[in-house]
Structure 1
Amino acid sequence: MKYRLRPHPRMPQIYLYRDPVDFRKSFRGLAAIVEQELGHNPFEGVLYAFTNRRRDKIKLLYWEDNGFVLYYKSLAEEKFHWPGGE
């Protein structure tokens, strides 16, 4: 059985942050990356995806109604396919 992360099925936009991120960052640190490095407003309700250097973990961040939602997934044996970056 395949498991999936479950943000809203009609997510209007999805952005992949290409560079690896320090996964000690919480939603505040990731929202700061969205704002300072991407120049986006993290409160607009779009999905941002971040991965670690080994590409075996992913964090998804988005603003929903009145707070941030942070999804986290760690793969046991595989890696996420990620464009660009390193």
Structure 2
Amino acid sequence: MAVVRNATYVESIDLYIEANQEWMTDSDQPLVTSLYKAAEALDKRTTASLLGEFRQVMRELHKRKPGLPKEQVLDEFDELMKDFV
């Protein structure tokens, strides 16, 4: 997957969900919904507190990804998010 440089927050969540939907279950839906709501608000106005909430929810969802050691999952997430800070 190529990185989309000028993606909106909503578009970035679309890309993330598309790339990771094979391991997501119904129990992940509340986190996905929270991400979309935060992304919609961030696309309208970026604030530090909202960005922090977005990161927390994204981190929580990404930690559920199976098959990677916890340290590696967090490192992969931090690498993914460095362009959003």
Structure that is richer in helix per residue: 2
TM-score of the two chains, using structure 1 as the length reference? 0.30
TM-score of the two chains, using structure 2 as the length reference? 0.31
Structure that is richer in strand per residue: 1
